[in-house]
Structure 1
Amino acid sequence: MTQERKSVDAAQLQRSLRFSRLPEPVRLEDTVEERPAAPHDSVSGAYNADWWLIRMGGL
């Protein structure tokens, strides 16, 4: 009769420890970063109501 030997090498042991469980779930709050796209120019205090029109080439 042949007996099976179960030998686990170091690489196989590392793989089984690494992939034996799922990673911790990531919360949705940790995946989102909120910040303004462009800082507000509060130094000059200038406000142009038609800025979007000028910026988008409407004039």
Structure 2
Amino acid sequence: MSPAEGATAERATAERATAEARRARFGALPERVAFADMVEERPPADRPTGAYDPDGSSVRFSCLAVDLGL
């Protein structure tokens, strides 16, 4: 066996050992979560979309000058 082949074999053995250590420490990956389980569907709000809502407008528009009345 040439020195290059010996280094390759040692490297493969080291990679296997680290993979086994990693599996022993962390275990298996968790099961995949289905997309349907990640999505929550809710009906739209009952309030009209054109109605004035002072609390809702502050969410869309925030400006320090307006807050200070300048």
TM-score, length-normalised on structure 2? Answer: 0.30
More helix by share: 2
TM-score, length-normalised on structure 1? Answer: 0.33
